[in-house]
């Protein structure tokens, strides 16, 4: 192993040889948009509420629309 390759692989930075990975400097470009993990939670919450409330509303419909006459 030559001295140049040894210095290139271990330059003394905390993330170079081991430990935490080094953080690249900000290059001025925005990070790619990642999907919001809360979107799936809201969708499942809405579906579960519909699964509970829709049968209850349908069961109460005859009572609400029945007019004794």
Q: Where do the domains of the chain lie?
A: 39-63
- Specify the pLDDT at position 57: 92
**More confident position, 12 or 56:** 56
Tokens of 61: 């419909």
Q: Is the pTM of this model over 0.85?
A: no
For the segment 1-54, what is each residue's pLDDT rounded down to a tens digit?
Answer: 555 555 455 555 555 556 666 776 667 777 667 666 666 888 889 999 999 999
- Specify the pLDDT at position 52: 94
Residues whose CB falls within 8 Å of the CB of residue 21, separated by 6 or more in sequence, listed in order: 15
Gap between the Cα atoms of 56 and 67, Å rounded: 20
């Amino acid at each position: 192993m030559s001295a140049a390759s040894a210095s290139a692989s271990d330059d003394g930075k905390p993330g170079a040889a081991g430990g935490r990975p080094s953080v690249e400097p900000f290059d001025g470009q925005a990070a790619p948009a990642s999907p919001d993990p809360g979107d799936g939670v809201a969708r499942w919450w809405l579906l579960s509420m519909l699964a509970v409330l829709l049968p209850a509303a349908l069961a109460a419909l005859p009572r609400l629309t029945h007019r004794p006459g």
